[in-house]
Amino acid sequence: MAGRKSDFTLTRLDDLFTTQAQREEERLSKIRDIPLELIDDFPDHPFKVRDDEDMQQLVESIKERGVITPATVRQKEDGRYELVSGHRRKRASELAGFETLRCEVVELNRDEATILMVESNFQRSQILPSEKAFAYKMRLEAMKRQAGRPSKENSDPVGPNLIGTRSNSLLAEETGDSTSQIKRYVRLTNLVPELLEFVDEGRIKMRPAVELSYLDEDCQRDVVDEIDMNDATPSHDQTIRMRKFFDEGKLTTEAIQAIMSEEKPNQKEKIVLRGDRVRQLIPKNIPISQTEDFVCKALEHYNKYLRQRAERDSR
């Protein structure tokens, strides 16, 4: 990750006159084994920790060789520790049956810790769109707060518009994503969890997802219902129309149903049974949870009746 700025550079005058060996010795003095029960995860940590095959490999590695690269923590006011980087190592140590985690204790404020947390996790080989979205949002907010604090030499803070522009540009330089792409990722944080999961699964692409992010929660949930009903996600053109209707105050549940019911290439053939019509044909003592079984058994009996009638007619 490029561009670690002056946030984490040596700032004390004494540091300018210390040798590399002295600095390394000082760093080692801050590395210690900390009980896992005293280490809290980073608040709103955007990166998922999965108990998958890679995790199992990490567990086996830690059982065999221990934690080679220390995790990074900062001490909290209550004496506990907050994990900045190393959430997978912490989880693997727990699964391996260890009681402590090798950590480096660093002195960082909230915004510095947020920036370091995002930077360290972006070294992962696979990052979901939702992880990137919330990570970018947290990182930008931290960068803007830092940029907005006037230095001792200059009591005038930078204007908010300029702060946002500079933060986006700096983040673009460091990550390789364009400023416009970063803005698209941040927009994803406005999606309801179900739609965001569709994005992570690749069922909804970035541009349609961004359009949907401008709808309110009720409209987004109507879209989720129609995706389940039609077994197809909206196209970019459909999401553009839904956003336009929403901006004009015309995006009703019926409008969403009409748009989503249009036949699309990614739509699978599916039988749709509207609940109100089906329910009136089912005895009231049959609970909703058993509706599907009742309908299937009724169809089996009806098919049997049709076969028997066909046999009689053929005689």
Q: What total number of domains does the chain contain? A: 3
Whether residue 208 lies inside any domain: the answer is yes
pLDDT tens-digit map of 43-59: 989 898 989 888 999 99
For residues 299 and 286, the model is more confident at: 299
* pLDDT score for 298: 82
* pLDDT score for 198: 95
Q: What percent of the chain has pLDDT over 70?
A: 77
Whether residue 70 lies inside any domain: the answer is yes
Task: With a cut of 70, say whether residue 153 has pLDDT above it.
Answer: no
Among 76, 78, 80, 100, smallest CA distance to 89 is for 100
pLDDT tens-digit map of 199-252: 999 999 999 999 999 999 999 999 999 999 888 999 999 999 999 999 999 999
Strand partners, 31: 104
pTM for this predicted structure = 0.65
CATH of the domain at 20: 3.90.1530.30
User: Can you list the alpha helix ranges (DSSP code H) found in the chain?
Assistant: 20-28, 53-65, 87-95, 110-121, 129-148, 160-175, 179-187, 193-200, 206-212, 217-230, 236-247, 253-260, 275-279, 291-314
* pLDDT score for 272: 56
User: By residue range, what is the domain housing residue 288?
Assistant: 275-305
Q: How far apart are CA 159 and CA 34, in angstroms?
A: 42
For residues 127 and 80, the model is more confident at: 80
Whether residue 311 lies inside any domain: the answer is no
Average pLDDT, rounded, for the chain: 82
Whether residue 203 lies inside any domain: the answer is yes
Whether residue 310 lies inside any domain: the answer is no
For residues 150 and 38, the model is more confident at: 38
pLDDT (average), residues 75-100:
94
* DSSP helix/strand/coil, 66: coil
Give the model's confidence band at 292: pLDDT under 50 very low, under 70 low, under 90 confident, else very high: confident
Q: Both 226 and 253 in a single domain?
A: yes
Q: Last residue of a domain, which of 69, 95, 126?
A: 126
Which of 1-15, 35-49, 120-134, 261-275 is least confident? 1-15
